[in-house]
Amino acid sequence: MIKQGIRAPDVSMAEEVLIGLNTIFPIIKGMYGVKKIGMFGAFARRDAIPVDTVELMVEFSPGSETYRHYLGLKWHLEEYFSTKINLITTRVLAESPAAASFDPEMGEVDQEALMQVLGELEFLQVRCKGMAYESFARESLLRRACERSLQIISLAITRISAPRKEMYPGAPWKEVEGISQSIAEARFGADPFLLWHFIVTEVPGFIQVVRSAIQAGARHHHQDTEMSSSGTANPEI
């Protein structure tokens, strides 16, 4: 139905999604236990920004909340609409600080990504604070957790807009973006010393940069706990 390709969302695209969801709702309700589904984020708001993914939120019926149902529904929707689907559960929207505090002028994508980066950086700082390399090298579970955290940071940074990153040219944006690929390509595992050194030397300053970036674009406003509070213009099925 919807062809792939980056373009700005418009009314016709939104209507097409709504019609499609109404059409297949009885099927996905029976197959995956879907209780409620609707559009979310930039796609629902028809923001004038290029998108290549349809953003949908879903709530499953009690007893149907399984990863099999979640992934089955995601694949079903991607096949039906012939495009990528960003499927977010209502639980994530209700509990995620990043989803609950975006600034329209800053851009939802930037704010969400920066919040995710900050959360992972703070995890690295707390877990490795005052830890000598020898101790870090012995803690295999901690190293694995740090590797995963750095991969999340790296991928989140790729979603931050160039203008936002250019406001902080001294930050190691490009270097951190390369961490995910380097970890994935490490044939014998990532070098624990390099990971530890990055955490000790780069993370504290990077935290301050990311906090400044968030504060620079944030408006202090209160939102209720409903879907509208997370930036959702959400026609539900």
| pLDDT at res. 182 | 83
Under 8 Å between Cβ of 121 and 203: yes
Query: CATH second-level architecture of 11-95?
Result: 2-Layer Sandwich (3.30)
Structure tokens, 108: 């939802």
Q: Quick count: other Cβ atoms within 10 Å of Cβ 49?
A: 15
Q: Select, from the ranges 12-16, 97-101, 194-198, the one with the highest average predicted confidence (pLDDT).
A: 194-198
Under 8 Å between Cβ of 60 and 84: no
Integer Cα distance of 34 and 157 in angstroms = 32
pLDDT reading at 93 higher than 60: yes
Segment 221-225 shows an average pLDDT of 36
Q: How far is CA 144 from CA 138, 139, 151, 196, 216, in A?
A: 11, 9, 11, 12, 33
Three-state SS for 41-109 is HHHHHCCCCCECEEEEEEEECCCCCCHHHHHHHHHHHHHHHCCEEEEEEHHHHHHCHHHHCCCCCCCHH
Backbone angles phi, psi at 127, to 5 degrees: -75, -25
| pLDDT at res. 130 | 92
pLDDT reading at 97 higher than 60: no
pLDDT reading at 107 higher than 80: no
109-149 pLDDT, tens digit each: 678 889 989 999 999 999 999 999 999 999 999 999 999 99
In the chain, what are the domain boundaries? 11-95, 98-217
**Which residue type occupies 222?**
H
Q: Do β-strands 53-60 and 34-39 pair in parallel, antiparallel, or remain unpaired? A: antiparallel
| pLDDT at res. 1 | 55
Under 8 Å between Cβ of 161 and 217: no
The per-residue b/e assignment along 68-103, b for 16 or more CB within 10 angstroms, e otherwise, is: ebbeebbebbeebbebbbebbebeebeebebbbbbb
Segment 40-47 shows an average pLDDT of 62
Q: Quick count: other Cβ atoms within 10 Å of Cβ 176?
A: 21
In sequence order, what are the residues at sequence separation of 6 or more whose Cβ sits closer than 8 angstroms to the Cβ of residue 197? 133
What is the residue whose two structure tokens read 């197959």?
Answer: 31
pTM: 0.60
pLDDT reading at 80 higher than 60: yes
126 three-state secondary structure: helix
